[in-house]
Structure 1
Amino acid sequence: MLTAKDVMTSPVIAIGPDSTVDEVGDILLSYGISAVPVIDRGALLGIVSEGDLIRRAEIGTAPQHRSWWLRLFANNAALAEGYVKSHSEHVTDVMTKEVATVVESTPVVEIATLLEHNRIKRVPVLRDGQIVGVVSRADLVRALVVARKRWRAPVSQDDSSIRLEIIEALRSESWPSTGRSDVTVTNGVVTFSGAYLSEQERKATLILAENTAGVRAIDDHRIPLDMTYGVV
Structure 2
Amino acid sequence: MELPTPESIKKRRMKLGLTQSALAEKANVSQPLIARIESGDVDPRLSTLRSIINALDEMEKCKVTAKDLMTSQIISLSPEDTVDKAVKLMEKYGFSQLPVIEKGVPIGSISESILVQAMGSEDISRISTSKVKQYMDESFPAVSPRTDMGTVSHLLESYHAVLVMELGKVVGVITKYDIMRLLK
TM-score between the two structures when normalised by the length of structure 2: 0.59
> Cα distance, 1:88 vs. partner?
7.6
CA distance in 2, matches of 1:129, 1:4: 16
**2:173 is the alignment partner of 1:134:** yes
| Aligned Cα root-mean-square deviation (Å) | 1.9
Larger helix proportion, structure 1 or 2? 2
Contact kept? 2:82, 2:130, Cα under 8 Å: yes
Question: Within 5 Å, which residues of 2 pair with 1:3-152?
Answer: 3-56=65-118, 59=119, 61-62=120-121, 89-116=130-157, 118=158, 120-145=159-184
Distance across 2 between alignment mates of 1:16 and 1:46: 9
- Residues 61-87 of structure 1, C-alpha deviations (whole Å, 9 max, x = no match): 028xxxxxxxxxxxxxxxxxxxxxx79
Stretches of structure 2 lacking an aligned partner (at least 5 in a row): 1-62
| 2: CA distance, partners of 1:87 / 1:109 | 38
Moved >2 Å (runs of 4+): none
Rounded Cα–Cα distance in structure 2 between residues aligned with 1:88 and 1:133 = 29
Q: Distance in 1 between matches of 2:166 and 2:134?
A: 26
Q: Is the 8 A contact 2:100 2:139 kept in 1?
A: no
Residue 97 (structure 1) shift: 2.5
**Unpaired runs of 5+ in structure 1?**
64-85, 146-232
Q: 3-state DSSP class of the match of 1:44? A: strand
**Cα separation, 2, equivalents of 1:102 and 1:12:** 15
Higher relative contact order (CA 8 A, sep 6+): 2
In 2, distance between residues paired with 1:87 and 1:29? Answer: 14
Tell me the SS of whatever aligns to 1:14.
Answer: coil
Q: Which has the higher strand share?
A: 1
Question: Secondary structure at 2:117's aligned position in 1?
Answer: coil
Question: 1: distance between equivalents of 2:92 and 2:176?
Answer: 19
Count of residue pairs the alignment pairs up = 118
Contact 1:28 1:35 in 2 (8 A): yes
Q: Distance in 1 between matches of 2:90 and 2:116?
A: 13
Inter-partner Cα distance in structure 2 for 1:12 and 1:96: 18
C-alpha separation in 2, matches of 1:88 and 1:97: 21
* SS, match of residue 11 in structure 1: coil
Q: Spell out, residue by residue over 1:162-214, the C-alpha distance to the aligned partner (whole angstroms, 9 max, x if none).
A: xxxxxxxxxxxxxxxxxxxxxxxxxxxxxxxxxxxxxxxxxxxxxxxxxxxxx
How many Å separate the matches in 1 of 2:140 and 2:129?
20
Q: State percent identity of aligned pairs.
A: 33
Q: TM-score normalised to the size of structure 1? A: 0.47
